Structure 1
Amino acid sequence: MSGLGEVLVGLAILVGLIGIVVQVLPGNVLVLGAILVWSWTTGGGAWWVFVAAAVVIAVAELGQWLLAGRHMRRADVPWSTLAWGGLAGVVGFFVIPVVGLLIFFVGGVFVAELLRRRDRRAAWRATVAAVQATGITILVQLAGGLLATLAWGVGLFLT
């Protein structure tokens, strides 16, 4: 692959990592897709880099569901509450660019839990648990994306 191609793959990986943190783009899909393109065009041992990145990202995706799910079950917060918060966050992203995502997510979760529990304190505790679960998700996905990026960097150096 040419130097320009490698720079473009690196930029796509960077966009994917940002997408993990901002939670607007499918970050790890972009990271893995960029590594796939690099492996395809480079060939040879680069495929082992793709396999390693795919395994790391698959483990991270599974881990984030298990860890965040356990956290949500402990707080007795159903996934539907996160879905309502996510929908509100998407609307908020367009109402107040970028910052609205977080504000409307928290508000959506709080309203969904307030309607479900009919108690403000319990709804707020559930909202805090949902935000913590989202943070766990982001950290685990980011760890997977960074490890996949490290694998790509090593593969780039060795090929």
Structure 2
Amino acid sequence: MPLWGEVLVGLAVLVGLVGVVVQVLPGALLVGGAVLVWGLLERGAVGWTVAALAVLLTAAGQLVKYLLAGRYLKRGGVPTAAMVWGGLLGIVGFFVIPVVGVFIGFPLGVYLAERVRLEQHDGAWRSTVLSLKATGLTIVIELLAALLVTVAWIAGLLLTRG
């Protein structure tokens, strides 16, 4: 792959890593996809290996983040419906207050759903805090997977260029 192609992949990886943290873009998928494209275009044993690692690590990160966050929320007694309402209000918030509205809408949606269900502030607030912690957990897991994909790509670059 020419140098300009590797620079484009590197920029996509960088944007993806930022997207994981900011949660505006599907960051891990962007990182995994960019490295997959690099591996497929690079070909050879290193390219194919890095492409396979990118797919496996990205898929594993996505699966683990949902399983762990779901278990955490279930243990805390936060129902799926509250998370759905949080997600819906997060989407509405994103369009009402561009970019930052999701950070207002999601917890507000969880709180309101739990306030209606539990009929008390303390329980609704507890569920809201648990949902935010679970969201933080998913970000950390997704970032770890994306960083591992990035390390695999850098190793692949060094092996093909060195």
What's the TM-score, normalizing by structure 2? 0.92
Q: Determine the structure 1 residue equivalent to 2:110.
A: 109
Aligned residue pair count: 159
Q: Determine the structure 1 residue equivalent to 2:72.
A: 71
For 2:88 and 2:157, the matched residues in 1 are separated by: 39
2:49 equivalent to 1:24:
no
After TM superposition, the runs of 4+ consecutive aligned structure 1 residues lying more than 4 A away are none
1:82 Cα deviation after fit: 1.4
Please report the RMSD computed on the Cα atoms of aligned residues, expressed in angstroms: 1.3
1:72 Cα deviation after fit: 0.2
Bigger Cα displacement from structure 2, 131-140 vs 88-97:
88-97
The answer for unaligned runs of 5 or more in structure 2 is none
1:112 Cα deviation after fit: 1.0
Q: Determine the structure 1 residue equivalent to 2:119.
A: 118
Q: Determine the structure 1 residue equivalent to 2:99.
A: 98
Bigger Cα displacement from structure 2, 125-134 vs 90-99:
90-99
What's the TM-score, normalizing by structure 1? 0.94
Name the aligned partner's letter for residue 97 of structure 1. Answer: P
Q: For 1:132-151, what aligned pairs fall within 5 Å after superposition?
A: 132-151=133-152
1:102 Cα deviation after fit: 0.8
For 2:116 and 2:157, the matched residues in 1 are separated by: 52
The answer for unaligned runs of 5 or more in structure 1 is none
Bigger Cα displacement from structure 2, 36-45 vs 133-142:
36-45
Name the aligned partner's letter for residue 35 of structure 1. Answer: V
Q: Determine the structure 2 residue equivalent to 1:58.
A: 59
1:23 Cα deviation after fit: 2.1
8 Å Cα contact 2:57/2:145 also seen in 1 = yes
Measured against aligned partners, the alpha-carbon deviations of 1:117-141 in whole angstroms (never above 9, x if no partner) come to: 1111100000000000000011001
For 2:27 and 2:79, the matched residues in 1 are separated by: 24
8 Å Cα contact 2:24/2:99 also seen in 1 = no
Seq. identity, %: 53
For 1:23 and 1:80, the matched residues in 2 are separated by: 21
8 Å Cα contact 2:36/2:54 also seen in 1 = no
